[in-house]
Amino acid sequence: MEEQKEITPMPRIGDKAPEFKAVTTQGDLHFPNDYKGEWVILFSHPADFTPVCTSEFMTFASMADKFEEANCKLVGLSIDGLYSHIAWLRSIKEKIEYKGMKNVEVKFPLIEDITMNVANKYGMVQPNEAATQAVRAVFFIDPQGIIRSIIYYPLSLGRNFDELYRVIIALQAADEFGVATPADWRPGDDVIIGPAGSCGTAENRMAGNEDMDCKEWYFCTRKLDKDEVLDKILKK
């Protein structure tokens, strides 16, 4: 009888981020406990000393201060050892130039995961894509340690970093102002008000009795000033 492998279910949006302890390029890590009160982007990459991953790490490192201003820390992972990580990050700083970025120092933690413990907990290994490498997974985790958004990319596709930053800002704006954000939302764009919960509310909205613009009872928006959004989210 063929032995069945144990399958670890992927964490989902709304779940508590799976807890783990790990060694990183910045010391020991207890996740997500070490990041209470902060947003975190936990992301995986396939392997050290690979070109797409190099371009991504340079971009992440160059944007680290921008994410920090948005109360968001970065934590990377691959199924490589600590010394491989260190050598690769030193090589990036000393030898690689990409899109005007050079002498880039990666200061956020990069997790050693040669046992694949963390990668398996987070469903980062997709066997039909690669059995021994993590795909490009991105987990957005809130200050309470709850997974709020997940984005997956295959090995061949580098991430869109404007989108990763947009997501972290939009999630915080939705929480702060009790709204939803429409397609392609950026700070300064109109936001979405939740659908009316009763016929009376719907009637008031369509009669223009509330401070919003309603195209139909279920589609209402209101203005939200860009500075108001950024003043609430970005650190001063």
In the chain, what are the domain boundaries? 20-159, 178-233
Bond into 109 cis (ω within 30): no
Q: Which is more confident, 184 or 4?
A: 184
Bridge-based pairing of strands 219-222 and 213-216 is antiparallel
pTM over 0.85: yes
Torsion of CA 121, 127, 132, 136, to 10 degrees: -70
What residue numbers does the annotated binding site cover?
Answer: 136
The CATH code of domain 20-159 reads 3.40.30.10
pLDDT digit string (tens) for 114-132? 999 999 999 999 888 888 8
Residues in the chain: 236
Residues linked to residue 71 through DSSP beta bridges, in sequence order = none
Contact 134, 140 (CB under 8 A): no
Has domain 178-233 been given CATH number 3.30.1020.10?
A: yes
Contact 46, 134 (CB under 8 A): yes
Identify the pLDDT of residue 199. 60
Spatial separation of the C-alpha atoms in residues 76 and 60, rounded to whole Å: 10
Contact 105, 44 (CB under 8 A): no
Identify the pLDDT of residue 222. 92
pLDDT digit string (tens) for 152-211? 999 999 999 999 999 999 999 999 999 999 999 999 999 998 776 566 566 666 666 567
Identify the pLDDT of residue 198. 61
Catalytic residues: 53
Same fold, 20-159 and 178-233: no
Q: What is the mean pLDDT of residues 80-86?
A: 97
Would you tell me the crossing angle of helices 161-177 and 226-233 to the nearest 10 degrees? 90
The answer, yes or no, to whether residue 221 has pLDDT greater than 90, is yes
89 — phi, psi (to 5°)? -65, -35
What residue numbers does the annotated binding site for substrate cover?
Answer: 136
Q: How far is CA 105 from the centre of its chain?
A: 20
Identify the pLDDT of residue 2. 46
Q: What is the mean pLDDT of residues 41-63?
A: 97
Identify the pLDDT of residue 217. 80
**What is the average pLDDT score of the chain?**
91
Q: Which is more confident, 20 or 214?
A: 20
Identify the pLDDT of residue 8. 62
Identify the pLDDT of residue 209. 58
